[in-house]
Amino acid sequence: MATTDLSAYDKTTVPNAEKFRFGIVVSEWNETITDALYKGAVAALLENGALEENIIKWDVPGSYELIYGAKKMVSSRNLDAVIAIGSVIKGETKHFDFVCDGVTQGIKDLNLSQETPVIFCVLTDDTMQQSIDRSGGKHGNKGIECAVAAIKMALVKNY
């Protein structure tokens, strides 16, 4: 599990995001967690200069659907980066493994096949408490970390 504060970053190393457009695709499954991640991501984008009107949010039913949502967003919008936000919590079946593997590979494939970076902001935790701790709890907010990554990758896209 995380041993650092996911919300901590050196603002002086983050480019100004004012000219960038961002997409955020959010899973509705484990909504308490994904909503907290989304709020953290948006706050970090705005803190670093992104304009509210340049942040587009789409909801999808679950983490597995993040792949299609991100692909559709990349192909239909003029964006500099997309953040895929989800939360998969281990249950009693292998479903967890299949969803985690599929989402990880799908987001990886998008990064290889598309010109717009897709940032992996999917928590894959053993317990709800671990997810709470990483979405604004004692380990900070992974959404903030991913927003910073999105800004930095938007700069790379525009080199």
| Active-site residue (options: 5, 32, 61, 95) | 95
95 as an active site residue: the answer is yes
Half-sphere exposure of 66 (CA within 13 A, CB side): 36
How many residues are recorded in the chain? 159
Characterize the bridge pairing of strands 135-137 and 118-125: unpaired
Residues annotated as catalytic (active site), given as ranges: 95
